[in-house]
Amino acid sequence: MPADLTSGSALSEPNEAASPWSDAVLAAALYAINPIGLGGISLRAHAGPVRDQWLALLQSSLPPHAPFRKIPIQVSDGRLLGGLDLAATLQAGRPIAERGLLAVCDGGTAVLPSAERRDAFVVARLGAVMDRGAVAVERDGFTSVTPSRFGVIALDEATNDDERPPASLLDRLAFHITLDGIGYRDAPDLPSLVEDVARARGQHADVTVPDRLIEAICVTSLALGVASLRAPLLAVKVAQAHAALIGNSEAGDEDAAVAARFVLAPRATRFPAGETDPAEPQEAEPLPPETPPEPSNDDSEHQPTDQELQDLILAAAIASIPPGLLAQLKLAQAVRTKARPSGRAGALQKSQRRGRPAGVVRGDLRDGARLNVIETLRAAAPWQGVRRREAAARGSVPAKPNRVEVRRDDFRIARFKNRTETATVFIVDASGSAALNRLAEAKGAVELLLADCYVRRDSVALISFRGKSAEVLLPPTRSLVRAKRSLAGLPGGGGTPLAAAIDETVALADGVRRKGLTMSAVFLTDGRANVARDGSGGRARAEEDAIASARSLRALGLKALVIDTSQSPGPQAEKIAREMGAIYVALPRADAQMLANTVRVATQPNGRDG
């Protein structure tokens, strides 16, 4: 009877015919069969009745008493991982550990609202626990490893395609589904799968997946350009769960097709190369070019793979790739690689945070200070015996003998290191050509930007170049006054030693990075280099040197902006910008205010939003 129910429902109809809603329902059912093994579901949907209905349906399919807990967006490490339970500790007079949310989720589901806005830190902790199947805690005087295994429902509430949950999270979740575009009317009540799911939950682990299916899944994932190895692993498990759902003890072609549709299609980064002989996709589509396909005897083992099966699975996956997805992906990738040449996502995301703990100091509870309770207690702890005896000697009887006596001396204040700290370096061309044109405007713009930096508590640095060399006028500082003074005294005239200026920037960047700051560089120049690195003249040599220097700047992967200040922008500045991986803006007639606005726009969005 259970098998009848599914085969009669919309759920096991051929893949192409499945509606988005029935797909979402099927994903929920498959997840509920094996939440831990499948990792979870990334659900793109706005809060609303359709999502509520789906969540209710999901919950009804899960075992009745399994935990289903939300991880709030502001969660602290203490709540997430566990630590000292202060109330209980004070009550008992001895340290009592508190279980963190991730340990509480054991055997159930962790729900992650606003998944697209989670930073790398929370996701890394989540990922570590999912991989290990245990929460490792080294906090607040406790050391523990608590087994905990759970699935994750990532609620992706993004409004546009640029926002996505962190890649390291998506990689671990089998299903990436969307409810966008499904109206309440499009979400009918489908026949309940609860009983089938419950039965399948007991059986999925025994479902065997034949080698030819595993191979077909691997072939398909390569053909679609899915690099991660977690994808085929998860697909195998989805096939297993699907076979269990329809009551089979061995996964078949259809199960693999469903798996490819759910797991591989949303991860596709390319269409398979036309209809060109998918018999040897490993030759047509090797991912990193340097890995040659294994020759001879291995291939002969793979020969008997079922050609039709591979075609079927690939077709199922391709049918599920939403139109336009690949174009979007490409675009997004291009933007991403341009904006962050060497993967600075982490560093940038850090800047969103109010601050990470950076140790504690003894201090008073003034306004805004955050008491570090653990350290305070720890400071108070050794004196308890003494203080009690003192109190007894004074004759005052403690109300509760177990109460911890905390004195003002014990207060420990948490210090946060503000990760929003960035250093903006302005490199101002004060050569003759620039000075004639635009030096005054450039100075004005820098002054305006300095004020911004000051408000944001960013550091600024100033490099100027003219004549034969470049000079750091101002090392990274927060002093607005100093910056203004050094800027005002900046003379103009002479050659354009652009290479020297870039080299100076690279040297400065090294120091800045060692302090753990994020740096962006803003060049205000016409890019017409005419002094080589060694101070000699000659345009050709000078340009060559400047390009070489620009490349070394790009190697640092920091955010750079070149503002072409010349009155008739030529190709030189643009070329330099390209070589240093910088954003190029030509502003031939901008005044100081407009220059400043441009820099704001160009340096902020990424840095602020990650």
Partner 1 sequence: MAVLFPFSAIVAQDEMKLALLIAAVDQSVGGVLVFGDRGTGKSTAVRGLAALLPPMQIVKGSRYNSDPSLSAEDLAALEPELGAGKPKSVWVPVPVVDLPLGATEDRVVGALDLERALTRGEKAFEPGLLARAHRGFLYIDEVNLLDDHLVDVLLDVAASGENVVEREGLSIRHPAKFVLVGSGNPEEGELRPQLLDRFGLSVEVKTPGDLATRVEVVKRRDAFERNPAGFMTEWQIHDASVQDQIAAGRKRLASVTTPQDMLEKAAKLCMALGTDGLRGELTLIRAARSLAALEGASSISDAHLKRVAPLALRHRLRRNPLDEAGSTVRVERALQEMFGGGAALGPTLVAAVAERRVV
291: contact with partner 1 by CB under 8 A: yes
Give whichever of 297 and 568 is closer to partner 1, judged by the CB atom: 297
Q: Kindly tell me which residue out of 151, 165, 232, 341 binds partner 1, with binding defined by CB under 8 A.
A: 232
User: Does position 427 bind partner 1 by CB under 8 A?
Assistant: no
Among 552, 574, 578, 597, which residue interacts with partner 1 (rule: CB under 8 A)?
Answer: 552
Count of CB atoms within 10 A of residue 603's CB? Answer: 22
Q: Which CB atom, from 278 or from 492, has the smaller least distance to partner 1?
A: 278
350 near partner 1, rule: CB under 8 A: yes
The two structure tokens encoding residue 557? 């992967």
Backbone region of residue 254 per phi and psi (left: phi > 0; alpha: psi in -120 to 50; beta: other values): alpha
For 246-286, what is the HEC assignment?
CCCCECCHHHHHHHHHHHHHHHCCCCCCCCCCCCCHHHHCC
492-551 binders of partner 1 (CB under 8 A): 510, 513-514, 516, 548-549, 551
From 187-195, 225-233, 363-371, 477-485, give the range in contact with partner 1 by CB under 8 A: 225-233
Give the relative orientation of helices 49-61 and 20-33 as an angle to the nearest 10 degrees. 30
Q: Which is nearer to partner 1, 412 or 438 (CB)?
A: 412
180 binds partner 1 (CB under 8 A): no
Interaction between residue 211 and partner 1 (CB under 8 A): yes
Give residues 82-121 in contact with partner 1 (rule: CB under 8 A). 83, 89, 93-95, 120-121
How many alpha carbons lie under 13 Å from residue 77 in its C-beta half-sphere? 12
Least separation in angstroms between CB 443 and partner 1: 29
Q: Which residues, 21 to 40, sit near partner 1 by CB under 8 A?
A: 37
Closer residue to partner 1, CB minimum distance, 46 or 389: 389
607 CB-contact burial (10 Å; exposed 0-12 / middle 13-18 / buried 19+)? buried
Least distance from partner 1 to the Cβ atom of residue 455, Å: 24
Q: Which two tokens stand for residue 595?
A: 């220059």
Long-range contacts of 592-597 (CB under 8 A, 24+ apart): 592/440, 592/441, 592/442, 592/443, 592/444, 592/445, 592/447, 592/448, 593/444, 593/445, 593/448, 595/441, 595/442, 595/444, 595/445, 595/524, 595/563, 595/565, 596/444, 596/445, 596/448, 596/449, 596/452
CB of 393 to partner 1, least distance (A): 16
User: Contacting partner 1 (CB under 8 A), which of 5, 86, 128, 326?
Assistant: 128
Please select the residue that binds partner 1; options are 117, 199, 353, 378, rule is CB under 8 A. 378
**Per CB under 8 A, 304 contacts partner 1:** no
Q: Kindly tell me which residue out of 136, 194, 319, 326 binds partner 1, with binding defined by CB under 8 A.
A: 136
Binding of residue 130 to partner 1 (CB under 8 A): no
Rule CB under 8 A: which of 142-161 touch partner 1? Answer: 142-143, 145, 147
Give residues 576-595 in contact with partner 1 (rule: CB under 8 A).
Answer: none
Burial of 388 by CB count in 10 Å (0-12 exposed, 13-18 middle, 19+ buried)? Answer: middle
> Could you say which of 161, 195, 299, 534 contacts partner 1 (CB under 8 A)?
299
Q: Amino acid identity, residue 160?
A: N
- Of the candidates 176, 179, 189, 89, which has an alpha carbon nearest to the alpha carbon of residue 141? 89
